Amino acid sequence: MERYGYVINGGTPLKGEVVISGAKNAAVAMIPAALLVDGVCRIENMPHISDTDMLLTIVSELGAKVRFVNRSTVDIDCTHVSFRDTPFDLMRKIRASYYLIGAMLGRFGVSKTTMPGGCNFGERPIDQHIKGMEALGADVSIQHGFVYASARDGKMHGSKVYLDKVSVGATINIILAAVLASGRTIIENAAREPHIVDLANFLNSMGADVRGAGTDTIKIYGVEKLHGGTYAVIPDQIEAGTYMVAAAATGGEVLIKNVIPKHLECISDKLRETGTIVQKYEDAVLVKGASNLHKTNVKTMPYPGFPTDMQPQMAVLLTMASGTSVITEGIYDNRFKYAQELLKMGADIHVEGKVCIISGVKTLTGAPVMACDLRAGAAMVIAGLCAEGETVIEDVHYIERGYEDFVGKLKRLGADISAVWFPDRDDAPARITIAG
Ligand code: UD1
């Protein structure tokens, strides 16, 4: 079977400017949210990534008219959607397909979805989503890998939901289910990530009444109907953070444009602790790599803490920092699978449960490695950019779930990276480089 991967020749410091795309985790909530709108949602700054492509296909199957106005602007018209079976094979591939539960319950009073897919970081239950849907008046059951939900009396009703665990997905899903419900919904212990605020702003611009997003108490006053409108997705915090770390790790100098510096503060502060220079501008950050990186410790936490989605990239940087660094994963049970790949590149990295201990080495060396998941894949790209010699990364389809034009953007910063097809597993030297 043909395989697709990236080939990187490391050692070139990244230099120049890169423009950050729209936030994946906001966009993947807005596409299902469009199901709640009677009319045309024009969404600008939509990232071109496989997760958004799949969700746009799923809403099209429900009857939405989807039309790209230009590369990053899409019109979604859900005036004539109806409840029906959706492409379950696509749903299984992405995490954010769980937003269809809240959005379909809100629009149709009934939903049928698969258990969500996405990256495997250990157990990723959806009990808090279900708790929320049940509180708002739905019966929910999981049978044969499907999640069935239906509003007991055909419509959702506002209620109070306390989340036992701070969950981005459950917070967003409950907002989606509550927007057209009767009465008021209160979410306590809500997540505070920037994309939750962005989703609330999107819904409010279409006539919803969502208050308190960005705090741990969100109130949603149900409205009769949402109307069409135009909204621009915020820049992607994690894509920006990935280029920041890549610039720092390669000892380069990169101006990262179209960002909200406030969302990058925890990443900027950590990078400064390693000796990296980070300068903040109104909608850009300039990152200048240090000749000697210092160790630091990282603990991932819900926003405004250090994001778990930046943990693998930061780990790569620390493999080259002098001294011993400790990373503690505060969100997931098993998010260090990439450590085994970094070992192949000469890193001194050791995992004990939710803690990873890294002793800095002088250089990484290129090797054949796998992208274990989306962010771990991005981390392997950074490792390849820093390493001596050639790194070949397989399973990069994970990376393309969340990074728009990763290869192109890195090339324009001077990286020696190509996307290639390997025609046959037993024929490793043969490669077909993809143009662009
Ligand atoms: C979202 C992001 C993902 C990011 C994560 C944490 C999207 C599409 N994905 O994922 O990139 O890594 O936030 O910032 O936005 N949990 C439960 N029960 C639930 C829900 C979650 O126990 O019902 C647990 C999870 O297993 C995890 C923690 O809560 O340990 C946080 O998960 P959550 O914030 O829900 O992550 P996602 O929404 O899946």
Mean pLDDT computed over 401-426: 91
264 and 317, same domain (yes or no): yes
Q: In the chain, what percentage of residues exceed pLDDT 90?
A: 87
Q: Is the pLDDT of residue 120 over 90?
A: no
Ligand 1 centroid vs 168 CA: distance in angstroms?
A: 6
Q: Can you tell me the distance from the alpha carbon of 304 to that of 269, in angstroms, rounded to the nearest whole number?
A: 12
Which residue's CA is the closest to the ligand 1 atom numbered 39?
Answer: 169
Q: Can you tell me the distance from the alpha carbon of 167 to that of 171, in angstroms, rounded to the nearest whole number?
A: 6
Atom of ligand 1 nearest to the CA of 128: 23
User: How remote is the C-alpha of 266 from its chain's centroid?
Assistant: 17
56 and 13, same domain (yes or no): no
Letter string b/e over residues 134-143, b meaning 16 or more CB atoms within 10 A of that residue's CB: ebbbbebeee
DSSP secondary structure letters along 369-401: EE--SHHHHHHHHHHHHHSBSEEEEE-TTTGGG
44 and 107, same domain (yes or no): yes
Mean pLDDT computed over 249-259: 98
156 and 242, same domain (yes or no): no
Ligand 1 centroid vs 300 CA: distance in angstroms?
A: 13
The CATH number of whichever domain residue 294 belongs to comes to: 3.65.10.10
Give the model's confidence band at 89: pLDDT under 50 very low, under 70 low, under 90 confident, else very high.
Answer: confident
260 and 209, same domain (yes or no): no
Q: Can you tell me the distance from the alpha carbon of 215 to that of 201, in angstroms, rounded to the nearest whole number?
A: 14
Per the CB < 8 A criterion, the answer to whether 139 and 165 are in contact is no
- Fill in the DSSP letter of residue 219: E
What pLDDT does residue 424 have? 64
In DSSP terms, 182 is beta-bridged to 157
User: Which of 55, 167, 311 to mutate for ligand 1's pocket (most ligand atoms within 8 Å of CB)?
Assistant: 167
Give the model's confidence band at 88: pLDDT under 50 very low, under 70 low, under 90 confident, else very high.
Answer: confident
Give the model's confidence band at 421: pLDDT under 50 very low, under 70 low, under 90 confident, else very high.
Answer: confident
Nearest to 43 by CA among 63, 66, 62, 18: 66
308 and 209, same domain (yes or no): no
* Range(s) of the domain holding residue 405: 3-21+235-433
Q: Can you tell me the distance from the alpha carbon of 172 to that of 279, in angstroms, rounded to the nearest whole number?
A: 32
Ligand 1 centroid vs 125 CA: distance in angstroms?
A: 9
Ligand 1 centroid vs 95 CA: distance in angstroms?
A: 9
Span of 43-52, 339-348, 427-436 with lowest mean pLDDT: 427-436
Q: Is the pLDDT of residue 423 over 80?
A: no
Give the model's confidence band at 266: pLDDT under 50 very low, under 70 low, under 90 confident, else very high.
Answer: very high
Q: Can you tell me the distance from the alpha carbon of 241 to that of 45, in angstroms, rounded to the nearest whole number?
A: 18
Return mean pLDDT, the chain: 94
79 and 206, same domain (yes or no): yes
Range list of H helices, 98-235: 99-108, 127-135, 168-178, 194-205
User: Which of 52, 119, 124 to mutate for ligand 1's pocket (most ligand atoms within 8 Å of CB)?
Assistant: 124
Ligand 1 centroid vs 248 CA: distance in angstroms?
A: 28
Among residues 203, 232, 261, the one where a domain terminates is 232
Domains: count for the chain? 2
How large is the greatest C-alpha to C-alpha distance in the chain, in angstroms? 65
Atom of ligand 1 nearest to the CA of 127: 23
Q: Residues with beta carbon inside 6 Å of ligand 1?
A: 25, 28, 95-96, 124-129, 165, 167-170, 191, 308-309, 331-332
Positions annotated as catalytic residues are 119
Atom of ligand 1 nearest to the CA of 375: 11
Q: Is the pTM of this model over 0.85?
A: yes
Q: Can you tell me the distance from the alpha carbon of 418 to that of 287, in angstroms, rounded to the nearest whole number?
A: 24
What pLDDT does residue 109 have? 96
111 and 80, same domain (yes or no): yes
Mean pLDDT computed over 158-168: 97
Q: Can you tell me the distance from the alpha carbon of 200 to that of 183, in angstroms, rounded to the nearest whole number?
A: 17
321: its two tokens = 């920092």
Q: Is the pLDDT of residue 94 over 90?
A: no
